[in-house]
Structure 1
Amino acid sequence: MKLQQLRYVLEVFRHGNHISNTAEALHTSQPGISKHIQMIESELGFEIFSRKRNRIVGLTEPGREVITIVQRVLNDIDNLKRLGEEITSRDGGSLTIATTHTQARYVLPKVIERFIQRHPAVQLHLRQGNPTQICEMVESGDADLAIGTETLRPFPSLVRLDCFELERCIITKAGHPLLKIRRPSLHDVAAYPIITHDPAFSGRWKVMNAFKQAGIQPNIIFGAVDADVSKTYVELGLGIAVMTAVTFNRRKDQGLRAIDATHLFQSSMTSISLRANSYLRNHTYDFIRLFAPQLTREAVDAAMQQVQ
């Protein structure tokens, strides 16, 4: 049994049981992956994947246990590598952060500036995606930690550390009629075309859920991939935008105005997600503490132990 075979099994599962998608992502051949999976199944004495007409359609019952074990084994291998880096290069190494546009653009800059000042020898890498995608990066080992809000699906193999809430506001063009209403209602907001986040972001769910519970059908003209795009279209006068308040800067967004919307829409919780049972280097603990001061080393370790 080889580590490469274990990786193929896990990657096929992560790619929705599609060998073709897995082969494309790993830049290898479909027959090669199929062969390695058959070899490990032969060695184990049972099938990991259930098949229909020689096509993988899901996991068998023992296959589910295999995935859990494989994830743990590969995570431990990764921990050994991290331990080696910690011993041989105490001041260096790397840290890969997967995050959303809002966090990367509006929350992280000052944190990263302070981190680089403290750890100049650490190579820092940023990867962006929606909340679900960034957790998938951590789950697969392509990132060390994810910083974002709620995801479309649960990630039982990750530890989620709550940091702080992001409250919402309504962004309008200067002079917009909505600015004349001291405390706008959902009906007031729904009277105008609305720009909100793409459906993959928690902001979209919470905005739509507020309207749904009030029995209102808003006019959503489109879902933008990030706050900067939303503000661009608001400036053009195409509509108003429901966004997190942290994305509005009174000095820089001079042609726009922000209306408090905490009474209308739920806030989103910003969290850090880590692989359970992963070995964290000292600079990783330091980055977490810089981002969320309440997350001390002891707090992080306690949260990691709860899922063991």
Structure 2
Amino acid sequence: MYDDLVMLPCYHWNRSIVVTPEHPLAAKSSVTIEELAQYPLVTYTFGFTGRSELDTAFNHAGLTPRIVFTATDADVIKTYVRLGLGVGVIASMAVDPLSDPDLVRVDTHDIFSHSTTKIGFRRSTFLRSYMYDFIQRFAPHLTRDVVDTAVALRSNEEIEAMFQDIKLPEK
């Protein structure tokens, strides 16, 4: 599937829950999947931004999430949380203490597996200098030599193997 695309790993990220300061989960430094299952959830639409990891975690625990609203944007989810519609499950990097002082972020790395953001382009694309520059600015470990080496490989499985021992940044 997508054999014509070169997919290069950029960084790992995970999810957090966001709640209002009055919420019972706000006082916790971490939560369990069983605790999370007790509350209505507001999260990403399936197919967007790692929603499948949420479904996988609940399925693995034999639980069903009580998803009351979904959105494709973290800011919309945070608005729903502020309105008291549920517990938000969003990318950790989408919560900023400066712009979201009215929300409490609780880490969930013990519940959900991390996701990896990748940058992709067609194998047949002639990469111009500015494209290499952009890729390296976005993911500093993706130098021109690394990108060229990855493009020369035959499959994305070989590319995954190439990056297996490289520690990607966490966001």
**Would the TM-score normalized by the shorter structure come out above 0.5?**
yes
Matches of 1:238 and 1:163, distance apart in 2: 33
> For the Cα contact (< 8 Å) 2:43–2:67, is it kept in 1?
yes
Alignment counterpart, residue 211 of structure 1, candidates 58, 69, 88: 58
- Is the 8 Å Cα contact of residues 58 and 64 (structure 2) preserved in structure 1? yes
Q: Secondary structure at the match of 2:89?
A: strand
Name 1:160's counterpart in structure 2: 7
Figure out how many residues of one structure are paired with residues of the other and give that number.
Answer: 155
- Structure-2 residue corresponding to 1:260: 107
**Match for residue 27 of structure 2 among 169, 172, 180:** 180
When the two chains are superposed, the root-mean-square deviation of aligned CA atoms in Å is 1.2
Letter in 2 for 1:254: P
Q: CA deviation at 1:298?
A: 0.4
By relative contact order (CA 8 Å, sep 6+), the higher-ranking structure is: 2
Deviation at 1:237, TM superposition (A): 0.6
Could you list the per-position Cα deviations for residues 229-248 of structure 1 after superposition, in whole angstroms to 9, with x for gaps in the alignment? 10010000100111111000
**How many Å apart are 1:254 and its aligned residue?**
1.3
Cα deviation 1:108-127 (Å, max 9, x = unaligned) = xxxxxxxxxxxxxxxxxxxx
Counterpart Cα distance in 2 of 1:158 and 1:273: 6
- Structure 1 runs (4+) greater than 4 angstroms displaced: none
- Alignment identity in percent? 39
Q: What are the residue-to-residue correspondences of 1:92-171 with 2, within 5 Å?
A: 154-171=1-18
Deviation per CA, 1:199-226: give whole Å up to 9, x if none. Answer: 1225211001100100111101122111
Distance 1:224 1:213 in 2: 24
- Higher Rg: 1
* Deviation per residue, 1:137-192 (Å, 9 max, x gap): xxxxxxxxxxxxxxxxx421100000101111111112210122333111111111
Aligned position for 2:77 = 230
**What is the TM-score with the length of structure 2 in the denominator?**
0.87
Q: Does 1:239 find its partner at 2:90?
A: no
Is contact 2:28–2:106 with CA below 8 Å preserved after alignment? no
1:1-28 CA-to-partner distances (Å, cap 9, x unmatched) read xxxxxxxxxxxxxxxxxxxxxxxxxxxx
Is the contact made by 2:42 and 2:67 (CA closer than 8 Å) also made in structure 1?
yes
Decide whether the 8 Å contact of 1:277 with 1:305 is kept in 2. no
Q: Tell me how far apart the structure 2 counterparts of residues 280 and 186 of structure 1 sit (CA, whole Å).
A: 44
For residues 19-30 of structure 1, the aligned pairs below 5 Å read: none
Whether the 8 Å CA contact 1:199–1:205 is kept in 2: the answer is yes
- The residue type equivalent to 2:61 in the other structure is A
TM-score normalised by structure 1 residue count: 0.49
Q: Distance in 2 between matches of 1:231 and 1:305?
A: 42
Separation in 2, partners of 1:258, 1:271: 25
d(CA) in 2 for partners of 1:181, 1:246: 19
- Aligned residue for 1:304, secondary structure, equals helix
> SS of the residue aligned with 2:50?
helix
Corresponding position of 2:142: 295
1:217 is aligned with what amino acid?
A: T
